[in-house]
Amino acid sequence: MGFTATKKIGNAVVRNRAKRRLRALFCEYSNTLKDGTYIFVAKQSLFNASHTKLNDDFAKVLTRSKSYKVNS
């Protein structure tokens, strides 16, 4: 898994905060994900979004990529 944020979104404090938010979301879903490589890129809109909105968007991306484990 990888988390990245470019200098375009802000200084080191801002970039680290963005990566922390992405890591927190990943931790919420980590038990339900298939094994694999995940790379997350922070965008500027990450800072204006509420946790609920981020959570919904994160779930949508994971669903589209078919990354959820299938319970048998």
In a domain, 10, yes or no: yes
In a domain, 34, yes or no: yes
In a domain, 29, yes or no: yes
User: Rounded to 5 degrees, what are φ and ψ at 70?
Assistant: -95, 120
Q: How far apart are CA 28 and CA 49, in angstroms?
A: 17
Residue 54 lies in domain: 2-64
User: In terms of Cα–Cα distance, which of 27, 35, 37 is closest to 68?
Assistant: 35
Output the pTM of the full model.
0.82
pLDDT given at position 70? 61
In a domain, 14, yes or no: yes
In a domain, 43, yes or no: yes
CATH number of the domain that residue 6 is part of: 3.30.230.10
| Average pLDDT by stretches of 10, the chain with 72 residues | 92 93 92 90 89 91 84 50
pLDDT given at position 45? 87
In a domain, 70, yes or no: no
Work out how many domains the chain is built from and give that number.
Answer: 1
